[in-house]
A and B are shown apart, each in its own frame.
Chain A
Amino acid sequence: MASLFQQIKSGMLWDFHGGIHPPARKTQTSQKPLGRLSLPERLYIPLRQHIGVAGKLLVQPGDYVLKGQPLTAANNAMAVPVHAPTSGHVLAIDDHPSAHPSALPEPMIVMVPDGLEQWRERQPLDPEHISRQQILARIQDAGIAGMGGAGFPTHIKSSASQGVDYLIINAAECEPYITADDALMQTEAETIMQGIDILCDLLSPKAVLIGIEDDKPRAIAAMQAACGNRKDFYVRVVPAKYPSGGEKQLIQRLTSKEVPAGRRPLDIGIVMQNVGTAFAIAQAVLHDIPLISRIVTVVGETLSRPQNVLALVGTPVGFLLDSCGFVAEAKQRVIMGGPMMGFTLPSLQIPIVKTSNCIIAPTDAELPTTGPELDCIRCGACAEACPATLLPQQLLWFSKAKDHDKLKEHHLSDCIECGACAYVCPSEIPLVHYYRVAKAEIREQHRDELKAEQAKARFEARNERLEREKQQRMAKNQALAAQRQSMLAEQQKQQIADAASRVETTAETLSKEQIIAERERKKAEARAYQAAKAQNQVENPAETKVEPAPATEVNTDTATDPRQSAVAAAIARAKAKKAGISENAEADEVPASSATLDSDKAADPRSAAVAAAIARAKAKKAGISADAEAAKAAEVSASPIALDTEKATDPRAAAVAAAIARAKAKKAGISAEAEATKSEDAVAGAENTTPVDTEKAADPRAAAVAAAIARAKAKKAAEATSTITTADLTAETAVNTTIAADVPVAASPVADAADPRAAAVAAAIARAKAKKAAETQQEPSADAEINQITPETETKAVAAEPAVIEASTNVVAPTDAKKAAIAAAIARAKAKKAIESDQEKSE
């Protein structure tokens, strides 16, 4: 160590790896006197101009402030205040583009100088008679942050009281163009020395090394003279080489030491301060002048008077340029900082801040834009230039490949972004840009990893909570289900009561026995072959009607799925339509089989809807150049069905389907060409398949649907003008089926809470039909009816649902389920009667 100290004392210099020698271009400004400017109209003072946090705001818009008055207060060790650069009014405090490569808007105090330059009261200190703490507090209060570039708060850097071997004053100023420190040293060498003295008091170093590049002879002379006979102050003249002004590089040059990766210079006993900072310290301590102005090199070939100027912090760059005779060229670049590490400004309103040492407004010929980026030829020129002894070409490769592990292995984090590599790269690759992007990505990844860890913890906590909640919910659901069941039972009772009340209003009151008797009679009348089977199917539930208990079994045994009923309805619709208009009886079989298939699949409400759609499509296709309107109506109603079936809890869908079926049947029936005989066959077919479907569905509701269909057919048949007798027959059959089907519907309420509503619906429908049928039959001509009936049917289809709702909301005294069945039967009977009477009329 001693020998190294001897070497350093003897004036030995070392070299660092790489480095470049770009043209310095400093003579444009270094020999000129310091320019002084008039006051700009506005000053934009960013609240934060250093690394760390902004101070607490002390002023408000409209306030009058004196020169040097603090605008923010340091309420934190990492904060340094900003001061009013001159006296004037605070105009506003809002966001403006910042002096940062991103130019992101930052909060700034906008000031209007009044030109009076009125100072606040000043309290110069005498370093001889005050404590360290007072000096440090003054440095902080004066808002001093490293003026070399990064802007690290100086009071923190200067607070190390021991272990400092060397205080290095960085006056290398290695970047081309910049002569701000040069100018400062030429004019203020004495003050700088006073500042260094104060720093020595704080840090007590073994030696002070002042590093200056050899291209500043005047500054070197001034500093050497100012050193006087101070002990262990050494002015070290280093050969110009970029980037010898880099902290690590200058340390290496002057002491041969390397700052270990990830450590600070203090760890190897070195503190480095910029000359500008030393000057600012002297000003603050000895004269109580806070950091409110700095020397800025304003240079570039677009300026007629390039020079160093003393600029107030907050002066817009545009004002500086204009003061130096700026004539912008097309696609002008304005660079804040040096040509190697500076950044371009998107706007000239961006202010000078404490770290701004240079503004360059070059012509394109002066600093040509780089050409198109070519492929890396692995020439290694970059590696030879890199002061950090990195392998930039490898870093480039890994940056492009986003190989973060390899980047780490190749020490990307040690890149100081000096730009030497990009300067020499023959392929003009913007290497530094790639590194910045990669570094940002790595930072991002780091953050993401942290986040992921937190998220994982959160996720686990959440899983636990969800599990807990699930348990709670299950318990709650069970309670709710019980509640719902009791509510539904209540509703059933209401519906039944409703139906019963309607029964009372009907003129004819038929006993249950009578209905059964009539049904039996009708069954017998039904054509033997097909009807027999059908009857069997429907009769079974009919018998259970008397004793509701078996029906319950049926429902609970098989899937009590209203969805299937919708499917069945769809199939039935399809068939009805087809049958109604089909000229070929054989054609029936095709849709029938496919429909069955569909119903098999119908585990899903959606497939039911699909089936319905298919059925509709088939029906349509079957060749009945049917009313486009009617078809449309069917389509329209299809969506509610699908919706309802999807919900799969609502028997109303069945009702709707039934209504639709009716509509279609009617439409079919209207087609004049339909021969009654064929209709009959078709109806028979329909009847035949309906029970099959019912069987599958094993649901009384399906029966209701089938009933509706049958009813529709009956009507249609009635409308058919050709053979009245056949129509009669069909109608009878239909009624038959209806009754058979309806009975289980009525019987089921105990079994399934939803069912009674269907019964009510059926009843309502039946009534409606009866009425309509009566109306219809009054019209002798089928042709004339077409227009009249179609819209009516549509209306009814739509009306069906409200009716159901109404039925379920009506509150009447609860009665037996059987009464509902009775009501339905009555309604149907009436319907039949109406038809019969109509027949008579026609006859």
Chain B
Amino acid sequence: MSFRVAASPHHHARVQTSTLMLKVALATLPGIAAQLYFFGYAVLIQLALAVVTAWSAEALVLSLREKTIVNRLKDHSALVTAVLLAVAIPAYAPWWIIVLGTAFAIIIVKQLYGGLGNNLFNPAMAAYVLLLISFPQQMTAWTPPTALQAQEQSTFDPVCLVFTDFSCAGYSITQLKTDVDGRTMATPLDTLKTDLTNNKTVSESRQQPMFAEIGGFGWNWVNLGFLLGGLWLWQQGVIQWRIPVAVLVSLGICSSIGAMVDADQYASPLFHWFSGGTMLAAFFIATDPVSASTTAKGRLIYGALIGLLVYLIRTFGGFPDGYAFAVMLANVAVPLIDAYTKPRTYGHKAKGSE
């Protein structure tokens, strides 16, 4: 009889990459549910388009690279990229936006760098930035929550909007963004930014109905949803606490300083935390292991850097939300951070004391 020979260890924790990735995808559900509730089911169309595109692109590239397709599709990393991009872009963005973005994310950002584990940038965020720069109009076309829209949405409006750019009744996105009073609305962050440049104070701006809740009507709940999912991921051991905490604390400190300097010009930490894509970025995007720092200390620095950049871009930059830029910039810094935060090996003296 022949005995099987294997390398030690013969024991394994049975935590698998594919499971981890699947959990990340699942953890976005509360956030998606909130989006669904406030912005209509267009997000589901985006999700479907993204996932199909991601899988096809991945399979295509893998077959070109002559790698095993099924095994690698099963790691679910493409799924996660697709889901993250789909929830990040405006729900009513035209269909080709998500298709283009996902394909770019998978083919260029991920596979051309050598596939899973080798990409310098977070694929979803790199694609997001590309889309934002190339198609700023479509990429900022967040409609206000359905409840605030002047026009009643019909059942098939999401489909019509995604595939034809017009609602079934023939309204364009811009028309849909107009509220009952005839003002154009965007995301709370967007609106706040516009108002501030129009010399309104933060509190004046926040009189509007879309700021009904801390992070803005609807957005508050979307962020809470992602927070919930993120906490579950942490509880499951899928992500470690360092990065999300560092992001939120850093953003909190920055906005607190701002608010303390001039509360009329700078929004509060709570608003920053629960508006835009803060929670999504902190728990789902910054924690992407591949493009994040790998050392414990490095992760704190990495998260803090993201928080700082998000605040700076939101407050002083040209774009309403900046987490995608922030994450990408932090990605670039990762090799440096890693190099400087290499832990002291057992039995070796610390770097400085050598």
Give chain A's interface residues, CB within 8 Å of chain B: 16-17, 20, 22, 176, 248, 252, 258-263, 328, 331-335, 337, 339-348, 360, 362, 367-372, 374-381, 383-384, 387-391, 393-394, 410-411, 414, 417, 419, 422-424, 426-428, 430, 432-433, 436
Task: Report the stretch among B154-162, B166-174, B321-329, B337-345 that lies at the interface.
Answer: B337-345
Which residues 214-237 in B have Cβ within 8 Å of A in the complex?
none
Tell me the bound Cα distance from A374 to B346 in angstroms.
28
Bound form: Cα–Cα A414–B345 in Å = 8
B3 x A258 contact (CB < 8 A): no
B interface, over-half SS: loop
CB-based contact A334/B3 at 8 Å: yes
Identify the interface centre among B1, B8, B18, B292: most chain A CB within 10 Å of its CB: B8
Tell me if B20 counts as interface (CB < 8 A to partner A): yes
A376 close to B13 (CB less than 8 A)? no
Residues in chain B near residue A345, CB distance under 8 A: 3
State A176–B3 Cα separation when bound (angstroms).
21
Q: Which residues of A contact B72 (CB under 8 A)?
A: 374-375
Q: Cβ of A379 and Cβ of B345 under 8 Å apart?
A: no
- Contact A389:B343 (CB < 8 A) given known A261-B348, A346-B3: yes
Mark B66-95 against chain A: 1 for CB-CB distance below 8 A, else 0: 001001100101000000000000000000
CB within 8 Å for A333 and B4 given contacts A371-B16, A391-B295, A422-B9:
yes
Query: B180 in the interface, Cβ–Cβ < 8 Å?
Result: no
> What CA separation (Å) do A340 and B7 show in the bound complex?
10
Q: Report yes or no: A369 in contact with B71, Cβ–Cβ below 8 A.
A: no
B residues contacting the other copy or chain, number (CB 8 A) = 45
Q: With CB as the reference atom, state the residue of chain A lying closest to B116.
A: A375
Min CB–CB distance A299 → chain B (angstroms): 13
Residue of A nearest to B292 (CB): A378
Are A380 and B7 neighbours in the complex by a CB distance under 8 Å?
Answer: no
A331 to B4 Cα, complex, angstroms: 6
Q: Is the CB of A377 within 8 A of B71?
A: no
**Is there an interface contact between B117 and A378, defined as CB atoms closer than 8 Å?**
yes
Residues of B within 8 A of A388 (CB): 345-347
Q: Is the CB of A369 within 8 A of B6?
A: yes
By a CB distance below 8 angstroms, the chain A residues around B294 are 378-380, 383, 391, 393-394
Could you tell me the distance in whole angstroms from the C-beta of B333 to the nearest C-beta in chain A? 15
A165 to B289, alpha carbons, bound, how many Å?
Answer: 44
A343 and B8: CB pair below 8 A? Answer: yes
A814 to B72, CA, bound (A): 93
Complex-state Cα separation, A104 to B54, whole angstroms: 49
Q: What's the least CB distance linking B303 to chain A, in Å?
A: 13
Question: What residue in chain B is nearest A416 (Cβ atoms)?
Answer: B346
Instruction: Decide if B115 is an interface residue (CB 8 Å cutoff).
Output: yes
- Pairwise interchain contact A374-B295, C-beta atoms closer than 8 A: no
Q: With A374-B17, A410-B345 given, name 20 new contacts (CB 8 A).
A: A261-B348, A262-B347, A339-B11, A340-B9, A369-B6, A370-B12, A374-B71, A374-B75, A375-B75, A378-B292, A379-B20, A379-B289, A383-B294, A388-B345, A389-B344, A411-B348, A417-B8, A424-B13, A426-B16, A426-B20
Check A333–B3 contact: CB distance below 8 A: yes
CB within 8 Å for A368 and B9 given contacts A377-B116, A414-B348: no
Instruction: Report Cα–Cα, A426/B24, bound state, in Å.
Output: 14
| B290 is an interface residue with CB less than 8 A from chain A | yes
Residues of chain B contacted by A360 (CB below 8 angstroms): 10
Contact of A432 among B7, B19, B345 (CB under 8 A): B7
B39 to chain A, nearest CB (A): 31
Q: Is the CB of A348 within 8 A of B3?
A: yes
Name the A residues within 8 Å of B183 (CB-CB). Answer: none
Q: How far, in Å, is A337 (CB) from chain B's closest CB?
A: 8
Residue of A nearest to B114 (CB): A375
Query: Which B residues are closer than 8 A to A by beta carbons?
Result: 1-20, 68, 71-72, 75, 77, 115-118, 240, 289-290, 292, 294-296, 299, 342-349
| Min CB–CB distance B25 → chain A (angstroms) | 14
A339 with B10: CB separation less than 8 A: yes
Distance from B98 Cβ to chain A, minimum over Cβ atoms (Å): 24
With A377-B17, A424-B15 already in contact, the answer to whether A258 and B8 are too (CB < 8 A) is no
Which residue of A has the minimal Cβ distance to B16? Answer: A426
Contact of A430 among B1, B7, B71 (CB under 8 A): B7
With a cutoff of 8 Å between Cβ atoms, the chain A residues found around residue B4 in the complex are 331-333, 344, 369
Instruction: Please report the C-alpha to C-alpha distance between residue A22 and residue B345 in the assembled complex, in whole angstroms.
Output: 23
Minimum CB–CB distance from B222 to chain A (whole Å) comes to 27
Q: Report the nearest B residue to A177, measured CB to CB.
A: B11
Q: Are B5 and A344 in contact (CB under 8 A)?
A: yes
Kindly provide the distance from the CB of B122 to the nearest chain A CB, expressed in whole angstroms. Answer: 12
Among B10, B292, B296, the residue within 8 A (CB) of A384 is B296
Given contacts A333-B3, A375-B115, contact A339 B347 (CB under 8 A): no
Residue contact B71 to A423, C-beta cutoff 8 Å? no
Closest CB of chain A to B346's CB: distance in Å? Answer: 4
| Contact A423 B3, beta carbon cutoff 8 Å | no
> Which residues of B have CB within 8 Å of A176?
11
Q: Quick one: closest A residue to B75, CB to CB?
A: A374
Indicate if the CB atoms of A377 and B9 lie closer than 8 Å.
no
Measured between beta carbons, the chain A residues less than 8 angstroms from B75 are 374-375, 427
Residue of B nearest to A367 (CB): B10
Q: Which residue of A lies closest to B291 (CB)?
A: A378
B8 → chain A closest CB, angstroms = 5
Chain A CB within 10 Å, residue with most, of B18, B299, B345? B345
Max count, chain A CB within 10 A of own CB: residue among B10, B118, B342: B10
A residues near B240, Cβ cutoff 8 Å: 380, 384
Please indicate the chain B residues that have their CB under 8 angstroms from the CB of A381 in the complex. Answer: 15
Is A427 touching B17 in the complex (CB atoms < 8 A)?
A: yes
| CB-defined contacts of B347 to chain A, threshold 8 Å | 248, 258-263, 388, 414
Are the C-beta atoms of B6 and A389 separated by less than 8 Å? no
Which residues from B are CB-within-8-Å of A419?
8-9, 11
Please state if A380 and B289 are interface contacts (CB–CB under 8 Å): yes
**Complex-state Cα separation, A16 to B344, whole angstroms:** 12
Contacts A260-B347, A383-B294, A388-B346 given; indicate if A432 touches B117 (C-beta within 8 A): no
Given contacts A333-B4, A375-B115, A384-B296, contact A248 B13 (CB under 8 A): no
- The chain B residue sitting closest to A434, CB to CB, is B7
- When the two chains form the complex, which single residue of A22, A387, A427 contacts B11, counting CB atoms closer than 8 Å? A22
Q: Pick the contact of A428: B8, B16, B346 (CB < 8 A).
A: B16
The answer to whether A342 and B345 touch (CB under 8 A), given A378-B117, A380-B289, A391-B294, is no
B8 near A340 with CB under 8 A, answer yes
With A333-B3, A379-B20: A432-B15 Cβ-Cβ less than 8 Å: no
- Compute how far the CA of A394 lies from the CA of B15 in the bound complex, rounded to whole angstroms: 20
Judge whether B8 and A342 touch: CB under 8 Å: yes
Q: Is the CB of B348 within 8 A of A391?
A: no
With contact pairs A261-B345, A339-B11, A422-B12 given, residues A378 and B3 touching in the complex (Cβ less than 8 Å)? no
When chains A and B are docked, how far (Å) is the Cα of A16 from the Cα of B7?
25
Are the CB atoms of A423 and B343 closer together than 8 Å? Answer: no
Q: How far is the CA of A432 from the CA of B10 in the complex (A)?
A: 11
Contacting residue for B117 out of A337, A370, A377, A424, CB 8 A = A377
- Min C-beta distance of A269 to chain B, whole Å: 15
* A387 and B345 alpha carbons, distance in the complex (Å): 9
A389 adjacent to B290 (CB under 8 Å): no
Q: How far is the CB of B38 from chain A (nearest CB, A)?
A: 33
Q: Which residues on the A side are within 8 Å of B349 (C-beta)?
A: 260
Taking the nearest CB of chain B, how far is it from the CB of A147, in angstroms? 19
Which residues of B have CB within 8 Å of A389? 343-346
Q: Which residue of B lies closest to A414 (CB)?
A: B345
Bound together, the chains give a CA A262 to CA B346 distance in angstroms of: 11
Q: Can you list 30 contacts pairing A with B, beta carbon distance less than 8 Å?
A: A248-B346, A258-B347, A260-B349, A261-B347, A333-B3, A339-B11, A340-B9, A342-B8, A343-B8, A344-B6, A344-B10, A345-B3, A346-B2, A347-B3, A367-B10, A372-B68, A374-B72, A376-B117, A377-B20, A378-B292, A380-B240, A380-B294, A383-B295, A388-B345, A388-B346, A388-B347, A391-B295, A427-B75, A432-B9, A433-B7
Q: Which residues of chain B are near A328, meaning CB under 8 Å?
A: 1
Complex partner residue of B13 from A334, A377, A423, CB under 8 angstroms: A423
Taking each of B4, B6, B9, B20, which has the highest tally of chain A beta carbons within 10 Å of its own beta carbon?
B9
